[in-house]
Amino acid sequence: MDFAIFGVVWLGASALAEWGWLHICRQSLGCLISNEGILAYHAFNFVTIVLLPIFLFVSGLIVFALLPRRAGDERPPHPCECPSRPTFASCWSVGTIAANLLLWLHPTVFDMQKIFAAQLPANNRHDLVIDVTARQWEWIFSYPQYHLRQTVNAAGLDELVIPVRRPVDFRLRSADPFHPYDIEADVIHSFWIPAFGIKEDVIPGETRNEYVMATQTASYRTNPEVRVQCAEVCGPGHPWMEAPVRIVTARQFRAWIHRQQRWQRSRASR
């Protein structure tokens, strides 16, 4: 009888937890505006949905074993020590192996293959390349395809502008271009745009790539999560190491590029 009650409680708690988690997912999914972030989000949700019942089952067994027994009840205090222990152990072993194989295949193998495929040269021949340099405590953006060394907004602050629905190849470096005598004299940073749902560490002496495609237009003014934020503690200026981001249409992006090129020529002529 106790095992039947335990089973009913476990099934009910699992159903309630799954419903609550899916409700939270539906509300927070709208915050992501990149294909890669949505892929990672679905992978995380799948793992959570699979593991929630397992977590509740193990936790429930621990609580069940600690419950006081009725007087005269000669049954063993722990369900794993009942006469059917070999059957229980066999089912537990098979279930554990099956769960691990499932999570290894999906999302680990299948979703990682999609992410790795985006890095193949054949799939990113027409990507927008943006060089991102992290220094204490500033983000510097350059667009080598358009011969732009450092893009800034009207206030003279570093600004990142991305065209919507176009793959972007961020090439990430941690260095200080203003001190050429030791260009790698900096620390580890982390390139993070919260609205994209992914991030990548930026390490001195290395060049790392992050491939992203934005799915809708947005800006820092309308959504504070559309910003570059350092996600690795890098010194006293770490909390303020951020830069605004704008995701615009292809036409707006071309106009912005032309404007940046004019500004760069005017600065060079001074």
* pLDDT beyond 80 at 181: no
Average pLDDT, the chain: 83
174 and 83: one domain? no
pLDDT, tens digit, 9 for 90 and up, residues 28-80: 656 788 888 888 888 888 888 888 888 998 888 888 878 776 655 555 555 55
pTM, two decimals, is 0.75
Residues 136, 227, single domain; the answer is yes
Q: What local confidence, expressed as pLDDT, does residue 9 receive? A: 86
Is there a single domain that holds both residue 228 and residue 133? Answer: yes
Quote the CA–CA distance of 56 and 13 in Å, as a whole number.
8
Lowest mean pLDDT among 13-27, 72-86, 150-164: 72-86
pLDDT at 171 over 90: yes
Residues 38 and 161 in one domain: no
pLDDT value at residue 183? 60
Which of 16-20, 40-44, 106-110, 172-176 has the weakest average pLDDT? Answer: 106-110
Looking up residue 134, the CATH number of its domain turns out to be: 2.60.40.420
Same domain, 109 and 185: no
CA distance 210 to 193: 11
Kindly state whether residues 105 and 139 are assigned to the same domain: no
Looking at the structure, do residues 6 and 83 belong to the same domain, yes or no? yes
What is the span of the domain harbouring residue 198? Answer: 127-269
Residues 234 and 131 in one domain: yes
Count of structural domains within the chain: 2
Q: Is the pLDDT of residue 191 over 90?
A: yes
Q: Is residue 122 part of a domain?
A: no
Q: Which residue has the tokens 């030791």?
A: 182
